[in-house]
C-alpha cells in the first residue's frame, strides 16, 4: 500500500464526527487522511457511555442506513439496550444503548484500520494552508505540530471541544481538550486569524465512581429490554452483543441540595468565570438545584462504563462545583455513602463556529474546500457529531471529485433537519436533536431510515454490496408481504363469527382484505395471518415463512414495516401530500447574485439578514430568524417580477 503524498480529503479530529467523515470519504473511493491528536482516543466517548435516545437514535439509524459505523459499533459494544417510548407511536420510538466504552473504541478503530483508501496519522494539527485564486481563498492542506505538511483537495475539521478548550472545577481552571487530553490552542488562533466567526460554548460531565464503593442493595435495578434485546444497525443482530448488564437508580435529596447550594459561591457558572452557554436540556446539577428550587429530589442513573471496569457514570449530576462539594454531595445519596470518585466532574468551555457561515453542504462560505462537522458547529452529542461527520465527509469527497454536493431535505432525514437548522438558525446554546424539531416526523422514523436513505447512499458509493443486498431483500419482502395482505380476502361465509370475534374483536359484516383488517386497533400481523388460517384462505406469507427465508431479525423488521405502513397509511399519505405541497417553495432556488438591498419592499433588517446569510432556497430563507411569512411573500413577488 503506497502512502500518497497528497489526499483527496483530509479529516482533522478522530472523534465521532471525524471518524464517520473519514470512513465516508474513503468508502466513496477518495484517498483520505485522518489526522488526530492520539490514535488511542479514536472514537472516544468524552462523556456518558451511551448512544441513542429520542431524536438521537434516529440520527444513528440514518448514519447506519448510509453505511456509517456508529450503529454497528454500538451493536458490538452495547451492554444494555432499550426501546424508549415503546408504547407510543412509531415516530417517537427510539433505541438507546449503554456502551462498553473500551469495546466501542475498539470497534471504531477496527473499522478505521481496515478501511481501504484511509490512512491514519497521529499528530496535532496546528495550521491549515490556504491559497487564494484571486476571487476566493481555498484550503490546500494541513500542517501538524511538528511541521509535517499534508496536501488535501478538501479538509474536514472536526475538533470537538478542543479548540482553546478550558476545563473548570470550582474556581480552578486549566487548558485542555477534555480531561486528560491537550487543547487545540494554536489551531484555534489560526482559525481566528482566518476570520471564521466564532463564539464560546460549554458542556459538563459528572464525577465517575468506583463501583466497588457503591452499595447496590440500596439502589433500584433498571434492566434493559431482554426479550428481545434490541439492535441498532439494520445489519445487526442481538448475537453480536456482549453480556447485558443492568443500570441502577438512586436520587438526590434535601441534604444533597443543601450541600450543592453551599458551593454556589465557588461555582464557575454562577460567579461568571464561565462565559460560554451550556446545554439547556442537559443542565448541571447545580443548575437544576438553582432553577427548580422547589424540587427536593432528582433521579440519578448509575450506568456501568463497561464489562472490564468498575467505573460507573452517574447520569444526572454533571457538575463544575469544587471537588470538596462534589464528594459530600455524592455521599449524601442512597447507596453512595462510601462512594470513591475516580475522576472529578468538570465543565469545559471551547470555541465553536457560527454554522450560519456554512453552506448547505457544510463547506465554510469563507474558505473553499474547508468543511466543518460536529461539536465545532455548536452541537452537542455523539450522534449529532457522527451524522454531521458522515455528511461533511461525503460532501468533501464529492467536491474533491468535482461532483454535485449531497443535500438532504427536512422531509428526508433528521440529518436534513439538523443541517438546515444549523445553517439557517445558528445556535445560541449547544444544539441537540429532538423529534420535535422535525415537522415531518411521521415520515422520519427510526424504523424506515434505510428505506429513506440507503438507496441515496448506494448512489454515492457509501453503501457496500452486503448492505445493499440485505436492503433489497428486505424491501422486496416488505412489498411482497404487503401485497399478499391486500390480495387475501375473507368474507362472513368463510370466517365464522366466533373466530372473527376471537381474532378481531367482532364479527365481520362484509368482505375485507387482510390489509383492511390489519388497520383495526389491536390487530397485528400475526392476528391477520390467524384470520386467514381460520377462514381457510391461502396466504403465502407468515412470520415463520419470513423467518425461514430471512432470519428472525430481518423477518421481525419486515413485519414491523408492513404493520406501520398499513396502520398509519392515512396519516403517512397526508404527510406525503403536505411535503409535496410545500416542495415548490421549499426548493425554489434564490439567484446567487440576488442583490437584496434592491428588494425595497423588504424591511431594512430583512434585507440585511438575507444579504448576510445568502440562503440558497426560499425554504432556507423562510427559516432565518426574523424573516416573516410576509417577507417571504414579498420576496416571491420580487422573484416573479424579475423573470
| 15 vs 152, beta carbon nearer ligand FAD | 15
Ligand-binding annotation for 284, yes or no, is yes
If binding is defined by CB under 6 A, does position 162 make contact with ligand FAD?
yes
If binding is defined by CB under 6 A, does position 319 make contact with ligand FAD?
no
Q: Are 429 and 278 in contact (CB under 8 A)?
A: yes
Residue count, binding to ligand FAD (CB under 6 A):
37
Among residues 385, 247, 401, the alpha carbon closest in space to that of 313 is found at 247
Q: Which of 26, 34, 35, 269 binds ligand FAD (CB under 6 A)?
A: 35
Window contacting ligand FAD (CB under 6 A); options: 16-24, 108-116, 243-251, 453-461: 16-24
Closest distance of CB 175 from ligand FAD, Å: 13
Closest distance of CB 500 from ligand FAD, Å: 50
Q: Are 250 and 218 in contact (CB under 8 A)?
A: yes
Q: Are 12 and 142 in contact (CB under 8 A)?
A: yes
Ligand-binding annotation for 382, yes or no, is no
Q: Measure CA of the first residue to CA of the last residue in the chain; give whole Å.
A: 55
If binding is defined by CB under 6 A, does position 16 make contact with ligand FAD?
yes
The DSSP result for 90-126, as a single string, is GGG-EEEEEE-HHHHHHHHHHHHHT-TTEEEEES-EE
| 76 vs 181, beta carbon nearer ligand FAD | 181
Question: What is the Cα–Cα distance from 31 to 397, expressed in whole angstroms?
Answer: 9
> 353: part of which helix (H) or strand (E)?
strand 346-353
- 478: number of Cβ within 10 Å: 20
If binding is defined by CB under 6 A, does position 74 make contact with ligand FAD?
no
If binding is defined by CB under 6 A, does position 37 make contact with ligand FAD?
yes
If binding is defined by CB under 6 A, does position 250 make contact with ligand FAD?
no
Window contacting ligand FAD (CB under 6 A); options: 380-388, 450-458, 478-486, 563-571: 380-388
Alpha helices in 461-603 (DSSP H): 465-487, 497-504, 514-518, 525-535, 543-550, 552-567, 569-587
Closest distance of CB 611 from ligand FAD, Å: 31
Q: Is 474 left (phi over 0), alpha (psi -120 to 50) or beta?
A: alpha
Question: What is the Cα–Cα distance from 397 to 159, expressed in whole angstroms?
Answer: 19
Q: Are 460 and 28 in contact (CB under 8 A)?
A: yes
C-alpha to C-alpha distances, 192 to 165, 367, 374, nearest whole angstrom: 14, 13, 18
If binding is defined by CB under 6 A, does position 12 make contact with ligand FAD?
yes
If binding is defined by CB under 6 A, does position 211 make contact with ligand FAD?
no
If binding is defined by CB under 6 A, does position 435 make contact with ligand FAD?
no
Grid coordinates belonging to 458:
448506494
If binding is defined by CB under 6 A, does position 173 make contact with ligand FAD?
no
If binding is defined by CB under 6 A, does position 333 make contact with ligand FAD?
no
Q: Which of 77, 107, 124, 370 binds ligand FAD (CB under 6 A)?
A: 124
Question: What is the Cα–Cα distance from 331 to 326, expressed in whole angstroms?
Answer: 9
* 209 phi and psi angles, rounded to 5 deg: -120, 145
If binding is defined by CB under 6 A, does position 561 make contact with ligand FAD?
no
Ligand-binding annotation for 15, yes or no, is yes
Window contacting ligand FAD (CB under 6 A); options: 11-19, 288-296, 363-371, 580-588: 11-19
Three-state SS at 172? strand
Q: Which of 32, 46, 154, 361 binds ligand FAD (CB under 6 A)?
A: 46
Closest distance of CB 99 from ligand FAD, Å: 13
Question: What is the Cα–Cα distance from 192 to 197, expressed in whole angstroms?
Answer: 7
Q: Which of 31, 36, 252, 617 binds ligand FAD (CB under 6 A)?
A: 36
If binding is defined by CB under 6 A, does position 453 make contact with ligand FAD?
no
Window contacting ligand FAD (CB under 6 A); options: 197-205, 500-508, 519-527, 574-582: 197-205
Ligand-binding annotation for 132, yes or no, is no
Q: Which of 90, 204, 369, 409 binds ligand FAD (CB under 6 A)?
A: 204
If binding is defined by CB under 6 A, does position 382 make contact with ligand FAD?
yes
If binding is defined by CB under 6 A, does position 24 make contact with ligand FAD?
no
If binding is defined by CB under 6 A, does position 230 make contact with ligand FAD?
no
If binding is defined by CB under 6 A, does position 31 make contact with ligand FAD?
no
C-alpha to C-alpha distances, 247 to 71, 74, 208, 238, 250, nearest whole angstrom: 21, 17, 14, 19, 10
| 159 vs 606, beta carbon nearer ligand FAD | 159
Cis peptide before 213 (omega within 30 of 0): no
If binding is defined by CB under 6 A, does position 207 make contact with ligand FAD?
no
If binding is defined by CB under 6 A, does position 155 make contact with ligand FAD?
no
Q: Which of 259, 282, 325, 534 binds ligand FAD (CB under 6 A)?
A: 282
Q: Are 562 and 481 in contact (CB under 8 A)?
A: yes
Q: Are 232 and 74 in contact (CB under 8 A)?
A: yes
Ligand-binding annotation for 278, yes or no, is yes
Ligand-binding annotation for 288, yes or no, is yes
Ligand-binding annotation for 527, yes or no, is no
Question: Would you give the DSSP letter of residue 406?
Answer: P
Ligand-binding annotation for 283, yes or no, is yes
| 13 vs 619, beta carbon nearer ligand FAD | 13
Among residues 249, 217, 268, 250, the alpha carbon closest in space to that of 329 is found at 250
Q: Please, which residues bridge with residue 83 across strands?
A: 95
Ligand-binding annotation for 49, yes or no, is no
Closest distance of CB 620 from ligand FAD, Å: 24
Q: Which of 47, 214, 333, 394 binds ligand FAD (CB under 6 A)?
A: 47
Ligand-binding annotation for 291, yes or no, is yes
Among residues 123, 115, 177, the alpha carbon closest in space to that of 150 is found at 123
Closest distance of CB 35 from ligand FAD, Å: 6
* 635 phi and psi angles, rounded to 5 deg: -65, -40
* 240 phi and psi angles, rounded to 5 deg: -80, -20
If binding is defined by CB under 6 A, does position 203 make contact with ligand FAD?
yes
| 117 vs 380, beta carbon nearer ligand FAD | 380
Which residues, other chains included, contact 474 with Cβ-Cβ below 8 Å and sequence gap of 6+?
Answer: 234, 450, 550, 554, 557, 558, 561
Closest distance of CB 148 from ligand FAD, Å: 12
Alpha helices in 357-464 (DSSP H): 382-400, 414-425, 449-460
If binding is defined by CB under 6 A, does position 378 make contact with ligand FAD?
no
**Torsion angle in degrees (nearest 10) through CA of 193, 195, 197, 201:** 0
If binding is defined by CB under 6 A, does position 14 make contact with ligand FAD?
yes
Q: Where is the binding site, in residues?
A: 13-18, 278-292
| Contacting positions for ligand FAD (CB under 6 A) | 12-18, 35-37, 41, 46-47, 124-125, 158-162, 177-178, 181, 184, 187, 203-205, 282, 318, 348, 374-375, 380-382, 385
Q: Where is the binding site for FAD, in residues?
A: 13-18
Q: Where is the binding site for NAD(+), in residues?
A: 278-292
Amino acid at each position: 500500500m503506497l502512502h500518497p503524498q497528497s489526499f483527496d480529503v483530509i479529516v482533522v479530529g478522530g472523534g465521532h464526527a471525524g471518524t464517520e467523515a473519514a470512513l465516508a470519504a474513503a468508502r466513496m473511493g477518495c484517498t483520505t487522511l485522518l489526522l488526530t491528536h492520539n490514535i488511542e482516543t479514536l472514537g472516544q466517548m468524552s462523556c456518558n457511555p451511551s448512544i441513542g435516545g429520542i431524536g438521537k437514535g434516529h440520527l444513528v439509524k440514518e448514519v447506519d442506513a448510509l453505511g456509517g459505523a456508529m450503529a454497528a459499533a454500538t451493536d458490538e459494544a452495547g451492554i444494555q439496550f432499550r426501546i424508549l417510548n415503546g408504547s407510543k407511536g412509531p415516530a417517537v420510538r427510539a433505541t438507546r444503548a449503554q456502551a462498553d466504552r473500551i469495546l466501542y473504541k475498539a470497534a471504531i478503530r477496527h473499522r478505521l484500520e481496515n478501511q481501504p483508501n484511509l490512512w491514519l496519522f497521529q499528530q496535532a494539527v496546528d495550521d491549515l494552508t490556504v491559497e487564494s485564486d484571486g476571487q476566493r481563498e481555498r484550503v490546500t492542506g494541513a500542517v501538524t505540530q511538528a511541521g509535517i505538511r499534508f496536501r488535501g483537495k478538501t479538509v474536514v475539521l472536526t475538533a470537538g471541544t478542543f479548540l482553546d478548550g478550558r476545563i473548570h472545577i470550582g474556581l480552578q481552571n486549566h487548558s485542555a481538550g477534555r480531561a486528560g487530553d491537550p487543547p487545540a490552542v494554536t489551531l484555534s488562533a489560526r482559525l481566528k486569524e482566518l476570520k471564521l466567526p466564532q463564539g464560546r460554548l460549554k458542556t459538563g460531565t459528572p464525577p465517575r465512581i468506583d463501583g466497588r464503593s457503591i452499595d447496590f442493595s440500596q439502589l433500584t435495578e433498571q434492566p434493559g429490554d431482554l426479550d428481545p434485546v434490541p439492535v441498532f444497525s439494520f445489519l445487526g443482530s442481538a448475537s453480536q452483543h456482549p453480556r447485558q448488564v443492568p443500570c441502577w437508580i438512586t436520587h438526590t435529596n434535601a441534604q444533597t441540595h443543601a450541600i450543592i447550594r453551599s458551593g454556589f459561591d465557588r461555582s464557575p457558572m454562577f460567579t461568571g468565570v464561565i462565559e460560554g452557554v451550556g446545554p439547556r436540556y442537559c443542565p448541571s446539577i447545580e443548575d437544576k438545584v438553582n432553577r427548580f428550587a422547589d424540587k427536593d429530589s432528582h433521579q440519578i442513573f448509575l450506568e456501568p462504563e463497561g464489562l472490564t471496569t468498575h467505573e460507573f457514570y452517574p447520569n444526572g449530576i454533571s457538575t463544575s462545583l469544587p471537588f470538596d462539594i462534589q464528594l459530600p454531595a455524592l455521599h449524601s445519596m442512597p447507596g453512595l455513602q462510601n462512594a470513591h470518585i475516580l475522576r472529578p466532574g468538570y465543565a469545559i468551555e471551547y470555541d465553536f463556529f457560527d454554522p450560519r457561515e456554512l453552506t448547505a453542504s457544510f463547506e465554510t462560505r469563507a474558505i473553499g474546500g474547508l468543511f466543518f462537522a460536529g461539536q465545532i458547529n455548536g452541537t452537542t452529542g455523539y450522534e449529532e457529531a457522527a451524522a454531521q461527520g458522515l455528511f461533511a465527509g461525503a460532501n468533501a469527497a464529492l467536491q474533491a471529485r468535482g461532483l454535485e454536493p449531497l443535500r438532504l431535505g427536512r422531509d428526508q432525514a433528521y440529518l436534513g433537519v439538523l443541517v438546515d437548522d444549523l445553517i439557517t438558525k445558528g445556535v445560541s446554546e449547544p444544539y441537540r436533536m429532538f423529534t420535535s424539531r422535525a415537522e415531518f416526523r411521521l415520515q422520519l422514523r427510526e424504523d424506515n431510515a434505510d428505506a429513506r436513505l440507503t438507496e441515496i447512499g448506494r448512489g454515492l458509493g457509501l453503501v457496500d454490496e452486503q448492505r445493499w443486498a440485505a436492503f433489497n431483500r428486505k424491501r422486496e419482502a416488505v412489498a411482497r408481504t404487503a401485497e399478499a395482505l391486500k390480495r387475501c380476502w375473507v368474507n362472513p361465509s368463510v370466517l365464522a363469527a366466533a373466530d372473527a370475534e376471537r381474532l378481531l374483536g367482532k364479527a365481520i359484516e362484509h368482505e375485507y382484505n387482510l390489509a383492511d383488517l390489519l388497520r383495526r386497533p389491536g390487530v397485528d400481523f400475526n392476528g391477520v395471518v390467524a384470520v386467514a388460517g381460520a377462514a381457510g384462505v391461502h396466504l403465502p406469507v407468515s412470520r415463520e415463512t419470513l423467518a425461514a427465508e430471512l432470519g428472525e431479525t430481518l423477518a421481525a423488521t419486515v413485519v414491523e414495516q408492513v404493520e406501520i405502513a398499513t396502520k398509519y397509511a392515512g396519516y403517512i399519505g397526508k404527510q406525503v401530500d403536505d411535503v409535496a405541497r410545500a416542495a415548490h417553495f421549499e426548493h425554489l432556488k434564490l439567484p446567487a447574485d440576488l442583490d437584496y438591498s434592491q428588494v425595497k419592499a423588504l424591511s431594512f433588517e430583512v434585507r440585511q439578514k438575507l444579504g448576510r446569510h445568502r440562503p440558497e432556497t426560499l425554504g432556507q430563507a423562510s427559516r432565518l430568524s426574523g424573516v416573516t411569512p410576509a417577507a417571504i411573500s414579498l420576496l416571491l413577488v420580487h422573484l416573479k417580477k424579475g423573470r
